[in-house]
Amino acid sequence: MPEQRAAMWLMKSEPEEFSIADLERVGREPWTGVRNYQARNFMRDGMALDDPVLFYHSNCATPGIAGIARVASAPYPDPTQFDPDSDYFDPAARADAPRWLLVDIAFVRRLRRVIALEELRAAADRLGDLALLRRGNRLSVLPVSASQFKTILAMEKHAP
């Protein structure tokens, strides 16, 4: 039996660093700077071209889902790990054995309104075990099931 692939994702970004508006402006962005192995593994092993992504704004006044993106490349080495001038430089990374892989993310659309974390918590019974809502979770790349994705997008149409 083939292994089940998550197929849909949530990716966090601090809007002061890179917001959904920034993604809309550039159209496509290499998702540099992920330095957590579990998050890397999701990008390296789990993602496929065109997988849908919920674009989440973190560490801001109203944390929540702000837009939709999609996976726009196969995984490849994060170039910032080799750049001594980058905040994400990793002296242990070797060109012939890159430690950090990333994918490109492409803009799809903004949501009509931000679906706040608070609202997602309130809908926890309908969402089931959403990785984002697990206690103490800090992962910046998370799997989302198809039914969770659908439930979240349906929330967009209603007032919070």
Residues near DNA (CB under 7 A) are 12, 14, 35-38, 58-60, 63, 117-118, 121, 134-140
Instruction: Compute the least distance from the CB of residue 103 to DNA, in Å.
Output: 17
Contact 27, 76 (CB under 8 A): no
- Cβ proximity to DNA, 1 vs 29, nearer residue: 29
Q: How far is the CB of 13 from DNA (least distance, A)?
A: 8
> Closest separation between CB of residue 112 and DNA, Å?
21
Answer whether 121's CB lies under 8 Å from 49's CB: no
Closest to DNA by CB, 72 vs 142, is 142
Q: How far is the CB of 133 from DNA (least distance, A)?
A: 10
Rounded to whole angstroms, how far apart are CA atoms 32 and 87?
A: 10
Angle at 75 between CA 25 and CA 142, to 5 degrees: 75
Residue nearer to DNA on the CB measure, 109 or 121 = 121
Smaller CB distance to DNA: residue 108 or 117? 117
- Pairing label, strands 101-102, 76-77: antiparallel
DSSP 8-state assignment for residue 6? -
